[in-house]
């Protein structure tokens, strides 16, 4: 028997006779797959044939013979190089069933189930579920926007410290917007706010030829009906130029809302919220609602007064507005009766005295200055040229009214003395505000009065507002009530 001679591994394929590649660079015609070398796998030779050096450097895959019953295609597939199998997870035991290969979406689709929602951290869930922002629109005297917003934010913080980021305030605009979470604002406890409105929509660019359509669409998106429609503008010189525009626009919007049944005058409608459209200019509108039990009952929050011809000064309008704002009709009838007595500190020239005299109340006017006009020789007026801070009545009077120009802390101390000494039952007085830190000065003055009355065990009702006819001042109403 002939023996097959051994052949050396000389770089020639034992099967095809063609030169075998010995470099390791990938073929240019076909990129190499990850995990495979660029060389074509060499065919095996019998043991002992070829160089040990080449056998060690270039290991060759054993040739696979076609088993009986298998096609050449199946055999070639078996010889085709495969990608390396993915490494097993540490938790997977030997002999366990292989994991399915494929994307998460593919497996879910094959099972015909929905993908589970990603878990939300508990803190995020709590924040999403419990915190909802609400914007509030407040009208105020121009120049007091910062004080108005500061006071509202302080009231909200007393309920819950966490607040949202506050909008920017425009100086001398006559309004402010504050953003709260779940806090509520009490209009009666706000001093600088003339009106309190829950803001729902802001439209920045109204088309010049059709302002009605976008405003109406925003209103119809709100729930419920409304008892009144108030079109308002800032209390500024620029705002006054819009008066003619809103007078023309009001009936158009009113008719559209009535046709759609959103503006009603049925019995009981006075309990429904009012609808406010606040025009900062002709192209911008803020849309909101007000609670009739937690807001001012006048358009723009202004209780306007007519200047009486007989009054000696315009300061009479401040007391007239204060009576309308602080006392309802029944209280005016009960507390301002003819024959009552009053003391007016800082009375000259007699504007506040005139409001009392016209109601039949006898007034002791205390001022070193002269009374003027009808108040100079009125039989209901007794004029005493004395220092208002040193005067003390001989007996209790029904009313103390005071409009003296002095620091708020000094006036507050005087008022506290009158009430703790039992010299008066009711009072309306003004606190003149400093140019800076007005909220702090006001809180200190009012807090001082409250502390003295609380210490003496006196029951009282106190309300303060910066009225329309006030300037750099705040008007306060203080009244004794029955002991608790």
Residues classed as catalytic: 432
CA–CA separation, 58 and 39 (whole Å) = 9
The DSSP secondary-structure symbol of 20 reads P
The 3-state DSSP composition of the chain as helix, strand, coil percent (nearest 5) reads 30, 20, 50
| Cβ atoms 397, 423 nearer than 8 A | yes
CA distances to 83, 306, 340 from 321, in Å: 91, 10, 20
Alpha-carbon torsion angle 467, 183, 459, 484, nearest 10? 150
Cis peptide before 89 (omega within 30 of 0): no
| DSSP per-residue string spanning 163-207 | -PPPPPPPTTSSEEEEEESS----GGG-SS-SEEEEEEEEES---
CA–CA separation, 448 and 413 (whole Å) = 7
The H or E element containing residue 104 is helix 104-111
CA–CA separation, 404 and 369 (whole Å) = 12
| DSSP per-residue string spanning 71-102 | -HHHHHHHHS--PPPPPPPTTPPTTPPPPPPS
The DSSP secondary-structure symbol of 271 reads G
Q: For residue 235, which of 179, 187, 304 has the smallest C-alpha distance? A: 304
The alpha carbons of the chain give a radius of gyration, in whole angstroms, of 45
The H or E element containing residue 384 is strand 381-384
| Cβ atoms 63, 45 nearer than 8 A | no
CA–CA separation, 178 and 166 (whole Å) = 6
Q: What angle do CA 311, 317, 321 make, to 5 degrees?
A: 140
Query: 305-324: buried (b, 16+ CB within 10 Å) or exposed (e) per residue?
Result: beeeeebbbebbbbbbbbbb
Count of CB atoms situated within 10 Å of the CB of 197 = 30
| Cβ atoms 271, 227 nearer than 8 A | yes
């Amino acid at each position: 028997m002939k023996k097959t001679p051994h052949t050396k591994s000389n770089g020639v394929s034992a099967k095809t006779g063609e030169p075998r590649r010995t470099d390791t660079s990938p073929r240019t015609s076909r990129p190499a797959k990850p995990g495979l070398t660029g060389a074509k796998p060499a065919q095996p030779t019998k043991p002992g044939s070829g160089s040990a050096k080449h056998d060690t450097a270039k290991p060759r895959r054993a040739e696979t013979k076609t088993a009986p019953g298998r096609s050449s295609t199946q055999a070639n597939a078996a010889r085709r190089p495969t990608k390396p199998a993915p490494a097993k997870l540490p938790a997977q035991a030997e002999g366990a069933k292989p994991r399915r290969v494929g994307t998460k979406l593919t497996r879910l689709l094959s099972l015909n189930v929905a993908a589970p929602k990603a878990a939300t951290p508990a803190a995020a869930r709590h924040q999403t579920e419990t915190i909802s922002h609400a914007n509030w629109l407040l009208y105020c005297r121009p120049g007091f926007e910062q004080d108005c917003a500061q006071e509202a934010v302080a009231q909200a913080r007393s309920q819950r410290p966490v607040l949202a980021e506050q909008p920017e305030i425009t100086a001398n605009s006559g309004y402010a917007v504050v953003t709260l979470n779940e806090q509520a604002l009490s209009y009666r406890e706000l001093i600088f706010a003339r009106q309190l409105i829950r803001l729902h929509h802001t439209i920045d660019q109204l088309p010049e030829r059709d302002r009605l359509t976008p405003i109406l669409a925003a209103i119809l998106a709100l729930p419920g009906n409304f008892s009144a429609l108030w079109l308002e503008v800032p209390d500024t010189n620029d705002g006054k130029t819009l008066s003619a525009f809103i007078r023309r626009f009001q009936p158009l919007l009113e008719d559209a809302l009535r046709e759609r049944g959103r503006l009603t005058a049925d019995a009981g409608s006075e309990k429904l919220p009012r609808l406010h459209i606040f025009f900062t200019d002709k192209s911008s509108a803020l849309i909101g609602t007000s609670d009739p039990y937690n807001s001012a009952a006048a358009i723009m929050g202004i209780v306007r007064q007519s200047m009486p011809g007989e009054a000696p000064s315009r300061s009479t309008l401040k007391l007239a507005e204060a009576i309308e704002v602080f006392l309802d009709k029944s209280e005016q009838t009960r507390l301002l009766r003819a024959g009552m007595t009053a003391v007016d500190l800082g009375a000259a020239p007699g504007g506040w005295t005139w409001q009392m005299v016209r109601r039949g109340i006898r007034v002791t006017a205390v001022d070193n200055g002269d009374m003027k006009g009808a108040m100079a020789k009125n039989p209901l007026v007794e004029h005493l040229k004395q220092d208002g801070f040193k005067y003390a009545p001989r007996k209790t009077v029904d009313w103390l009214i005071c409009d003296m120009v002095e620091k708020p802390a000094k006036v507050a101390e005087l008022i506290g003395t009158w009430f703790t000494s039992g010299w008066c039952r009711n009072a309306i007085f003004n606190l003149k505000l400093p140019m800076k830190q007005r909220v702090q000065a006001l809180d200190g003055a009012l807090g001082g009065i409250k502390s003295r009355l609380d210490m003496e065990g006196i029951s009282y009702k106190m309300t303060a507002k910066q009225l329309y006819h006030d300037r750099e001042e705040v008007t306060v109403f203080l009244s004794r009530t029955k002991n608790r």
